[in-house]
Amino acid sequence: MADYVFHIPLRKVSGLNKRLIEGYQLGLLFGLTPKQAREAIRLFEKVRTHPSWSNKRSNYALMVDCLYMMSKRYKTGVTVRKVVDITKKMRGKGTQPKLNEWVSDYEVLIA
């Protein structure tokens, strides 16, 4: 897992771009390659914009879930505890992946 990711001052970046930058940063910290992080971000966008998505998770939490899912798929070694620690360092509050809250309803998009 990467020890350091460059920091972009996100307060100066707008909505979608902020999510993408933060997604890449988190993905790298979760041990994903840039290509794998991009795959997770695309999954996030597919789920988030799906007509039946009912905001079971916030956008940020959904992004964390998708990145965690890809980290497990690519066996980066990240754990739930590491995800909580990483997100706490980035945002001041830890976010725990909770795939069980929505994945079964969106398996078609994940495949």
Tell me, yes or no, whether 5 lies in a domain. no
* pLDDT (0 to 100) of residue 108: 86
**Number of Cβ atoms within 10 Å of the Cβ of 31:** 19
The pLDDT tens digits for 8-65 are 555 555 566 777 888 999 999 999 999 999 999 999 999 999 999 988 899 999 999 9
| CATH number for position 84 | 1.10.472
Which letter does DSSP use for residue 54 in this model? Answer: -
* pLDDT (0 to 100) of residue 7: 52
Tell me, yes or no, whether 104 lies in a domain. yes
* pLDDT (0 to 100) of residue 18: 77
Range of the domain at 83: 14-110
Task: Quote the pTM value.
Answer: 0.84
Which letter does DSSP use for residue 12 in this model? Answer: G
Total structural domains in the chain? 1
